[in-house]
């Protein structure tokens, strides 16, 4: 089993690259991504699992990176918003004006991307259940709903 | 003439940076050698600091300094200086910063902060605005009469909790009541709530050996920060540099100055090294300023035919433990107290009082959400008393050009806009005529509510803005302004204004997103929905200046009179033959003759703006001009209430604003929908919850609930466009207005559905149940 005491160097697989990071056992994945790897797309909004601004994909699933320890992510595939390359959901957010200040956007987009990967044909109920873990204070959610629905395969398309 | 950029859905300039995670906010900038400050906050709402033991904390690894209120004693505040950045001798609210630990890492600072032991001697607390008014109330501030006034028009009362009072006296109340055949009265309560910007407030500061103080902050008011840092730390204004990158939401909450003082003090304590202080969410809610609370009484009188004759308004505004902008908001509420209705006889007493709660500051709408709720609920009560349709009653009384505002400003179409058209449109949008209360089955009721609003800027009378328009050698433009991009696409809107003036592609206008007070021209603050107007005017001026320079130079180059030339599509051409032209690129950095001699140089346009003719409110009768114009509007909400358990769904929410001119329809619609979303949150679930000891209970996003996806209604937005003669392209501010009357409309609908008078927010099912039970009893 992987063990870490004090501060130690871990290897994280992020956006297809192996990166080294010096962390304490108590450091969160959010901390390691932002402070050690310079990947500041994931944002702290509550560091308590309530807002979703820190969402990244771990083995394809959306995870609140403030609730996962950096050491727990060792050996798993991490994808951050910086690792998305012109994904349709990014364009949809731009086209639908699905953000204003943009602070929640990385987290929303990663959660959406997870949903698109896992349930590409998600119903409204499933979509809402997934995206309810994120907060946006600027928009009305109507724009975000339009953006995700334009990318999901709905019955009408 | 067809427009090039105005009225177009231009995608915001920084859109792609935001969807790729590359847009940088203040805490995203890594600074080598950065140290971290962690706040210790009060666990007591009102008490004397008896002892503070930080001996153990001092020994913790990585700790560099521990600051308390004695470190750099000062009192701060934008209106009256009553607040120490770190509490001294006593604390006045739960969450008040009392100490600051600075260490090499955040983890070390937090570990040390948890070791500080503070003992308080509890004092009796002030738990609500009306309690603050009582003669026996404990004093939150013992020496209210000794504080320095930053503006002359603030009137604290010695030996009381009243920090400011505003009076409106218009017309003749006796006459008004005599003409009133029907009167209604209501009492209303709106609790404190939080802005919940997704980016919590954070600041880093350093002091260079040259003495320059460099601040990087998530702020709506970089120039305000600069001024106060200069003042409180005794440094020349120009030696303070405040940088603000993109801001992750503000809604007024990042206009006051709090973290900045602390960060500069922290840097001072560690030899000028850079220190970052970032609020946790819990601190952002409890320690940093919030939304005011309001207890309001409204009495309206009308003749039988439904014409308002008299209005009496008492507002007790709870500003929490410190005044901040509370007094200003109190004035703003009083000067607009009637809502957008014609009333010749108006009496308003508005008090701004201290309580032992988190202090209050600007919140989207600057107090208007709160008093508008009271006024619009009272209007529904009046409609019921008169047996009139609520829309009809409002329509009969809407204010018009030629009438005067409560502070006796004479209204013109340009100043006021057309609220009647807004009401007509919203009535259709929500389909009012199909019935405002429909029983769907035994348990389910659908009901609608409507409410009107107006708001002006309530800015200081000397608020200024400026813009610099510098040409690149390829003919494109760099636009530099002091407004912060907090979310509503202000910078893109300004680029649209400039592009339209220059008659060029908006993609050729490059906007500097960050503000640096040493580089950017001045702007008062990015607040009050005024940036498009104020900075827009400065941009127009700068465009005019640049065009003059371009045309004069082109006239020499083209050997003709400037009068014969026109500018468009980055060419200067002969008016009578556009085929004869010179490219802007060939004159933007001077015109080079074939031999190489050059005349002229870089074209740099400058523009400034100050709002004319504003005046403060008179102390005795409230006469004064609080803003350059109003943005009026009407809002409506449809709900479905389930009588089995009093849960409800918000089905539709509609807003029509008189925007003067909509510059970017999709952005504008988004901003208004966002405002509605926030307002529906306040109406349905959001509020601060204090316990008996006035300790704030819901300081996390798990206990402080906001709207989430799927809970939103269908949003409907439409516009009226009555130009404001002074504004760029006639555009009125719209940034705040979506929030202003929406919870009034919501609660009007819920009261109608449940057939009880709901006179407070948030309306949770339990409240409806309680009122129904009271009614039965
Ligand atoms: S920061 Fe992770 S959920 Fe809010
Ligand atoms: S865009 Fe600002 S919080 Fe979502």
Tell me: the pLDDT tens digits for B343-380? 999 999 999 999 999 999 999 999 999 999 999 999 99
Interface test with A, best of B9, B14, B18 (most A CBs within 10 A): B18
DSSP secondary structure of B439-465: E-SSSEEEEEEEEEEEE-----TT-EE
Helices (H), B525-650: 531-557
B569: exposed, middle or buried (Cβ count in 10 Å: 0-12, 13-18, 19+) = middle
Interface of A with B in 54-83 (CB under 8 A): 80-82
Can you give the pLDDT at residue B14? Answer: 98
On whether residue A33 sits in a domain, the answer given is no
8 Å CB contact between B298 and B375: yes
Residue A26 domain-assigned (yes or no):
no
- A46 to chain B: closest CA residue: B281
Cis peptide before B762 (omega within 30 of 0): yes
Question: How far B754 CA lies from chain A's nearest CA (Å)?
Answer: 26
Tokens of B774: 């009271």
Nearest-CA residue of chain A relative to B17? A102
pLDDT of residue B530: 83
Q: Take residue A86 and report the two structure tokens written for it.
A: 């012109």
Write the DSSP symbol of residue B613.
T
Domain count, chain A: 1
Is A14 inside any structural domain? no
Residue A140 CA to its chain's centroid (Å) = 20
CA atoms within 13 A on the CB side of B346: 24
pLDDT above 60 for A156: no
Chain B residues touching A50 at Cβ < 8 A: 281, 700-702
Q: Which residues does chain B have with pLDDT short of 50?
A: none
Tokens representing B662 are 């909509």
Q: Which residue of B has its CA nearest to A145?
A: B709
Q: Name the 3-class secondary structure at B743.
A: helix
Please answer yes or no on whether B246 and A99 come within 8 Å at the CB atom. no
- DSSP type of residue B696: B
Which of B198, B201, B673, B682 to mutate: most A Cβ within 10 Å?
B198
Q: CA–CA separation, A119 vs A114, rounded Å?
A: 8
Instruction: Report CB contact under 8 Å: A145, B706.
Output: no
Range of the structural domain that residue A149 is part of: 83-155
Alpha-carbon distance values, B384 to B304, B737, B751 (Å): 12, 27, 12
Q: Which residues pair with B67 in a beta bridge?
A: B100
Most informative mutation of A34, A52, A63 for ligand 1 (most atoms within 8 A of CB): A52
Q: What is the chain B residue with the closest CA to A135?
A: B708
Q: Ligand 1 pocket test: pick from A56, A63, A69, A107 the residue with the most ligand atoms within 8 Å of its Cβ.
A: A107
Q: Do the domain assignments include residue A87?
A: yes
Residue A113: what pLDDT?
A: 98
d(CA A40, CA A17): 16
pLDDT in tens, B504-540: 999 999 999 999 999 999 998 887 778 899 999 999 9
Q: Supply the pLDDT for residue A155.
A: 54
**pLDDT computed for residue B394 by the predictor:** 98
Residues B76 and B148: their CA atoms lie apart, in Å, by: 9
Of A50, A56, A104, best ligand 1 pocket probe by most atoms within 8 Å of the beta carbon? A50
Count of Cβ atoms closer than 10 Å to residue B122 Cβ: 11
Does a structural domain hold residue A50? no
Residue B146 structure tokens: 């000794």
CB atoms within 10 A of CB B685: 17
Question: What is the C-alpha separation between B571 and B584, in angstroms, rounded?
Answer: 5
Residue of B nearest to A98 (CA): B670
DSSP bridge pairs for A74: none
Can you tell me the distance from the alpha carbon of B488 to that of A121, in angstroms, rounded to the nearest whole number?
A: 32
Query: What confidence tier does A114 reach under pLDDT thresholds 50, 70, 90?
Result: very high
Say how many Å lie between the CA of residue B582 and the centre of ligand 1.
55
User: With a CB-CB cutoff of 8 Å, which residues 171-230 of chain B face chain A?
Assistant: 195-200
Say if A129 falls within a structural domain: yes
Distance from Cα A49 to the centre of ligand 2, integer Å: 17
Beta partners for B653? B637, B715
User: Is A23 in the B-facing interface, judged by CB distances under 8 Å?
Assistant: no
* pLDDT score recorded for residue B612: 81
Residues with CB under 6 A from ligand 1: A 44-47, 49-54, 64, 66
**How far is the C-alpha of B82 from the C-alpha of B74, rounded, in Å?**
9
Q: Is A92 part of a structural domain of the chain?
A: yes
Q: Say what percent of chain B tops pLDDT 90.
A: 96
Q: A105: which chain B residues are within 8 Å (Cβ-Cβ)?
A: 18-19
CB–CB contact A139 B199 (8 Å): no
Contacts made by residues B641-644, CB under 8 angstroms, sequence distance 24+: B641/B444, B641/B445, B641/B446, B641/B447, B641/B750, B641/B753, B641/B754, B641/B768, B642/B443, B642/B444, B643/B442, B643/B443, B643/B444, B643/B445, B643/B754, B644/B443
Residues B77/B83, Cβ–Cβ less than 8 Å: yes
DSSP annotation of B731 reads: P
Tell me which of A65, A102, A104, A149 to substitute to probe the interface with B (most B C-beta atoms closer than 10 Å): A102
8 A C-beta contact, residue B450 and residue B716: no
Nearest to B369 by CA among B411, B412, B317, B415: B317
Tell me whether residues B197 and A101 touch, CB distance under 8 A. yes
CB atoms within 10 A of CB B586: 18
Question: Which of B629, B622, B190 has its CA nearest to residue B368?
Answer: B190
Which chain B residue is nearest to residue A90, measuring alpha carbons? B19
Average pLDDT value over all residues in chain B? 97
B21–A42: do the CB atoms touch at under 8 Å?
yes
Q: Tell me if ipTM is over 0.95.
A: yes
Among partner residues B198, B701, B710, which is closest to A48 by beta-carbon distance?
Answer: B701
pLDDT at site B31: 75
Measured CA to CA, the distance from residue B459 to residue B413 in angstroms comes to: 21
CATH code of the domain containing A96: 1.10.150.120
Backbone angles phi, psi at B646, to 5 degrees: 65, 20
Angstrom distance (rounded) from CA A134 to CA A147: 15
A46 touches chain B (CB under 8 A): yes
Per-position DSSP letters for A59-120, written without gaps between them: TTEEEETTSSBGGGGTTSEEE-GGG--S-HHHHHHHHTT--SS-TTHHHHHHHHHHHHHH-T
Residue A118: inside a domain: yes
For B337, the token pair is 């107290």
Q: What's the mean pLDDT when you consider all of chain A?
A: 95
Q: Which residues of B touch A70 (CB under 8 A)?
A: none
Region at B569 (left for phi over 0; alpha for psi -120 to 50; beta for the rest): left
Backbone φ, ψ for residue B120 (5° rounding): -115, 150
| Domains observed in chain B | 15-21+462-610 (3.30.365.10), 31-125+198-249+254-286 (3.90.1170.50), 293-459+614-776 (3.30.365.10)
Collapsing DSSP to helix, strand or coil, B194 comes out as coil
Distance CA B544, CA B264 (A): 40
Instruction: Flag if A53 and B25 touch (Cβ within 8 Å).
Output: no
Contacts of A46 in chain B (CB under 8 A): 281, 700-701
- Cβ–Cβ contact B15 with A under 8 A: yes
The pLDDT value given to residue B1: 61
In tens, the pLDDT along A46-100 reads 999 999 999 999 999 999 999 999 999 999 999 999 999 899 999 999 999 999 9
Give pLDDT, residue B537: 96
Rounded Cα distance, B188 and B746, in Å: 15
């Amino acid at each position: 089993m992987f063990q870490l005491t004090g501060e130690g160097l871990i290897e994280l697989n992020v956006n297809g690259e192996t990166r080294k990071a010096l962390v304490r056992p108590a450091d969160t994945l959010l901390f390691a991504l932002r402070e050690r790897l310079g990947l500041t797309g994931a944002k702290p909004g509550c560091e308590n699992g309530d807002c979703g601004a820190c969402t990244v994909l771990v083995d394809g699933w959306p995870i609140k990176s403030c609730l996962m320890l950096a050491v727990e992510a060792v050996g798993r595939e991490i994808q951050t918003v910086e690792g998305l390359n012109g994904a349709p959901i990014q364009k949809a957010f731009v086209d639908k004006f699905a953000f204003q200040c943009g602070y929640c956007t990385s987290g929303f987009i990663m959660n959406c991307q997870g949903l698109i990967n896992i349930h590409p044909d998600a119903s409204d109920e499933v979509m809402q259940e997934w995206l309810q873990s994120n907060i946006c204070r600027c928009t009305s959610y109507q724009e975000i709903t339009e953006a995700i629905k334009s990318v999901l395969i709905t019955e009408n398309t | 003439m067809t427009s090039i950029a105005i009225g177009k859905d231009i995608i915001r300039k920084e859109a792609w940076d935001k969807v790729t995670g590359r847009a940088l906010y203040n805490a995203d900038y890594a600074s080598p050698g950065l140290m971290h400050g962690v706040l210790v906050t009060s666990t007591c709402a009102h008490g004397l600091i008896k002892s503070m033991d930080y001996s153990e904390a001092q020994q913790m690894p990585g700790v560099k300094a521990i600051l308390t209120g004695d470190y750099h004693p000062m009192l701060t505040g934008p209106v009256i200086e009553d607040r120490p950045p770190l509490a001294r001798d006593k604390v006045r609210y739960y969450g008040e910063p009392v100490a600051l630990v600075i260490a090499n890492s955040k983890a070390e600072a937090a570990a040390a902060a948890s070791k500080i032991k503070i003992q308080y001697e509890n004092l009796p607390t002030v738990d609500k605005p009306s309690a603050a008014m009582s003669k026996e109330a404990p004093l939150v501030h013992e020496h209210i009469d000794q504080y320095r006034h930053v503006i002359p028009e603030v009137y604290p009362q010695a030996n009381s909790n009243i920090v400011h009072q505003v009076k409106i006296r218009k017309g003749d109340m006796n006459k008004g009541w005599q003409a009133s055949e029907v009167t209604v009265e209501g009492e209303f309560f709106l609790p404190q709530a939080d802005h919940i910007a997704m980016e919590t407030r954070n600041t880093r500061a350093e002091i260079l050996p040259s003495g320059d103080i460099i601040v990087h902050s998530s702020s709506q008011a970089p120039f305000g920060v600069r001024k106060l840092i200069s003042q409180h730390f005794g440094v020349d204004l120009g030696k303070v540099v405040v940088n603000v990158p993109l801001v992750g939401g503000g809604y007024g909450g990042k206009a006051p100055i709090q973290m900045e003082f602390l960060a500069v003090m922290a840097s001072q304590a560690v030899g000028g090294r850079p220190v970052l202080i970032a609020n946790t969410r819990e601190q952002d809610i409890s320690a940093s300023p919030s939304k005011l609370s309001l207890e309001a009484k409204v009495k309206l009188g009308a003749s039988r035919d439904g014409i308002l004759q008299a209005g009496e308004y008492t507002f007790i505004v709870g500003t929490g433990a410190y005044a901040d902008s509370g007094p200003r908001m109190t004035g703003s509420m009083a000067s607009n107290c009637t809502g957008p209705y014609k009333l010749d006889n108006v009496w308003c007493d508005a008090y701004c009082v201290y309580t032992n709660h988190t202090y209050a500051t600007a919140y989207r709408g600057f107090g208007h959400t709160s008093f508008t709720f009271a006024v619009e609920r009272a209007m529904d009560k009046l409609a019921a008393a008169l047996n009139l349709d609520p829309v009809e009653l409002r329509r009969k009384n809407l204010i018009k050009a030629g009438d005067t505002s409560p502070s006796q400003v004479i209204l013109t179409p340009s100043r006021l806009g057309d609220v009647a058209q807004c009401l007509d449109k919203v009535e259709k949008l929500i389909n009012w005529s199909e019935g405002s209360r429909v029983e769907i089955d035994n348990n389910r009721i659908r009901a609608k509510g409507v409410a009107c609003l107006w708001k002006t800027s309530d800015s200081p009378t000397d608020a200024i803005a400026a813009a610099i328009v510098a040409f690149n050698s390829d003919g494109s433009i760099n636009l530099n302004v002091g407004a912060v991009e907090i979310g509503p696409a202000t910078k893109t809107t300004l680029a649209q204004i400039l592009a339209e003036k220059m008659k060029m592609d908006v993609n050729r206008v490059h906007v500097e997103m960050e503000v640096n007070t040493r580089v950017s021209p001045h702007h008062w603050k990015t607040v009050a929905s005024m940036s498009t107007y104020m900075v827009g005017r400065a941009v127009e001026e700068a465009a005019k200046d640049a065009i003059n320079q371009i045309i004069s130079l082109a006239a020499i180059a083209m050997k003709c009179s400037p009068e014969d030339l026109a500018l468009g599509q980055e060419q200067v051409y002969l008016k009578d033959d556009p085929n004869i032209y010179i490219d802007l690129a060939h004159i933007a950095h001077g015109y080079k003759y074939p031999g190489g001699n050059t005349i002229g140089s870089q074209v740099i346009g400058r523009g400034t703006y100050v709002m004319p003719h504003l005046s403060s409110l008179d102390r005795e009768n409230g006469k004064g001009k609080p803003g350059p114009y109003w943005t009026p509007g009407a809002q409506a909400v449809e709900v479905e209430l389930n009588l089995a358990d009093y849960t409800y769904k918000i089905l539709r929410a509609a807003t029509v604003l008189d925007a003067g001119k909509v510059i970017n329809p999709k952005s504008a619609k988004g901003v208004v929908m966002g405002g509605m979303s926030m307002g529906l949150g306040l109406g349905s679930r959001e509020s601060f919850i204090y316990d008996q000891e006035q300790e704030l209970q819901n300081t996390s996003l798990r206990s402080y609930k906001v709207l989430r996806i799927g809970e939103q209604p269908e949003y409907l937005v439409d516009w009226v466009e009555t130009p404001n003669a002074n504004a760029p392209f006639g555009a009125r501010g719209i940034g705040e207005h979506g929030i202003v009357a929406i919870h009034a409309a919501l609660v009007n609908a819920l009261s109608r559905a449940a057939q009880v008078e709901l006179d407070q927010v948030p309306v949770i099912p339990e409240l409806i149940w309680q009122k129904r039970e009271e009614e039965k009893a």
